[in-house]
Chain A
């Protein structure tokens, strides 16, 4: 009996070890290639440890006269930050109303809001583009060719995050807000000074996933950003690939590493929030 469990334990360790190796191998290959010279990247048989180690690849990616990666990083950060701010503020406001204010038609509105989550993005993609174009043509606010279409909608609440925050608000004891109300606190005061601080874990999940979504987004920037100086990192990678045309593998891998690393660092800094977020919401960042 004991021998069997020992064997079982050993075998699941072995399987997990192999699987972890398989899942990690692409990362190893990525970093290894990013530090190789071209001739070494194309060597036969392949080498795992680069020699000499070409840290220069990274500086070549960063100081590149055709593609300005630091600028793309800045663009991406600006879009992501504005999207995070907008989502957190607007979604929490709306979620507060759905969770804590009793008003006529609340259930109906809530169901409508949930229903909007079912609409596939392609259905609204073309009209959204036209709407932003229309706004740009008829108001001084230029939309197409700027990053505004990528973060502006975030300021008007996103159904999923509203739902998430509402569920969290419902778990906060109502007595707290009642006490504040008796003390003469306004509804906004209750939201701002009581609910928001208490909902910090949920807000962190929303902020984190919004940030990741903005960082990883590919289709949105592709549709809206036209000039290279507005590109995000994702578009930069794509531009890199189409310009280098599949020759400079070490440079492309170095660029990829630079895009991946911030996300991995962010993950390790916020691991607990992160895993809890996925487990409770079931979404991909």
Chain B
């Protein structure tokens, strides 16, 4: 058995190498082989299943079972202490009139509206600057990247201290130029912008992804643009941005998904306050599940989150046709 398989494989790879020569007798050979392939595919099944078994088990117990349970419990009253009781659409009806749901959704979207565009502009700008061939490029890159390595619990503590109204770095620096800084995290208006600002500090990861994208832009494009008299602004706007628009799009989608998972930062820094100004969706979900023990309700919130993220992603995809350019497709 092990003797037959190699022959088939090696012939197949040869076939694909000169697949353009359709008149060669090999194309009949490949016809015969499709039948043989099917039986190998069945014969290989036990072997493949053995290799796949970790994932199949994990898929059943850590993916499918939780999804089914989550969906079912979202229609139940379930407090973990008592067995789940079917409750119909009550959870979802409750969510619609739940003030805290709307608050947490609002704060999350407000954060997204600030952190996403700001993060995108800063990280793209940094990537453009770091993509130039200048002395010390490696050092600059490292310094910009390092903050994104900091564990969220540690960076939360650090920024809590930086934002400290009286002794924090930020207000100390502002006072040097005669500005009395606000209370940042203790001020309901400033708390959310503060968190958005902090998120920009950890943007190095996105910068690296942009840098990789920038390096894939063919230099001929810049050369021909320059010959056509394009200045650096034109080159940025008509060459660079369109060429890396798939990367921008990828980062945008990841950021949308990430926003709804923001948890540790507000949990440690503001506990959702002041006055629910930083009460993120993930916090509300967590509190329902593990503080109020309203697990059915938490499941319903999770499914609402899935729907919202899906809708936002689909919306992004729908507009993508206008601004995302894939190479090889006009």
Contact = CB atoms under 8 A, between A and B. Distances in A.
B289 A19 contact: no
B303 interface: yes
A101 B54 CA distance: 16
B205 to A, nearest CB: 5
B48 A101 contact: yes
Interface in B288-316: 289-290, 295, 298-299, 301-303, 305-306, 309
Contact of A123 (B61, B62, B161, B306): B306
A58 to B, nearest CB: 15
B320 interface: no
Interface stretch (A62-70, A155-163, A197-205): A155-163
Interface in A185-219: 187, 191, 212, 215-216, 218-219
A37 to B, nearest CB: 13
A27 B150 CA distance: 10
A130 interface: yes
B161 A249 contact: yes
Interface string A253-281: 10110011001100100000001001110
A227 interface: no
A54 interface: no
B45 A237 contact: no
B66 A127 contact: yes
Interface string A88-127: 0010011011100111101001001100100111111111
Contacts of B250: 282
Interface in A119-172: 119-131, 133, 153, 155-157, 162
Interface residues of B, number: 96
B302 A253 contact: no
A237 B172 CA distance: 25
Interface residues of A, number: 94
B59 to A, nearest CB: 7
B212 interface: yes
Given A16-B129, A126-B295, A156 B61 contact: yes
Contacts of B65: 127, 131
Contacts of A241: 157, 160, 268
A207 B301 CA distance: 33
Secondary structure at the B interface, as helix, strand, loop or mixed, is helix
B96 interface: no
Nearest to B158: A30
B148 to A, nearest CB: 7
Contact of B299 (A126, A133, A175): A126
A23 B153 contact: no
Interface string B177-215: 000000000000000000000000100110011011000
A259 B153 contact: yes
Interface stretch (B6-14, B113-121, B218-226): B6-14
A242 B217 CA distance: 49
A284 B205 contact: yes
B278 to A, nearest CB: 16
A143 to B, nearest CB: 12
Contacts of A125: 285, 289, 298, 302
A260 B144 contact: no
Given A20-B143, A234-B153, A90 B55 contact: yes
B229 to A, nearest CB: 15
A157 to B, nearest CB: 4
Contact of B44 (A20, A90, A101, A175): A101
B42 interface: yes
A26 B44 contact: no
B257 interface: yes
A52 interface: no
Contacts of A122: 260-261, 282, 285, 298, 301-302, 305
B264 interface: yes
Contacts of B208: 275, 278-279
A30 B169 CA distance: 10
A25 interface: yes
Nearest to A241: B157
A259 B134 contact: no
A233 to B, nearest CB: 7
A155 B143 contact: no
A103 B134 CA distance: 51
Nearest first, the 9 closest Cβ-Cβ pairs linking A and B are A156-B58, A97-B51, A279-B212, A127-B66, A103-B48, A157-B55, A124-B66, A90-B54, A234-B153
22 contacts: A13-B134, A15-B129, A23-B201, A26-B159, A26-B169, A90-B55, A103-B47, A103-B48, A104-B42, A106-B41, A109-B52, A120-B309, A124-B67, A127-B67, A129-B290, A131-B61, A156-B59, A157-B55, A212-B149, A216-B153, A241-B160, A278-B208
Interface of A: 9, 12-13, 15-16, 19-20, 23-27, 29-30, 33, 41-42, 44-46, 90, 93-94, 96-98, 101-104, 106, 109, 112-113, 116, 119-131, 133, 153, 155-157, 162, 174-175, 178, 181-182, 184, 187, 191, 212, 215-216, 218-219, 222-223, 233-235, 237-238, 240-241, 246, 249, 252-253, 255-256, 259-260, 263-264, 267, 275, 278-280, 282, 284-285
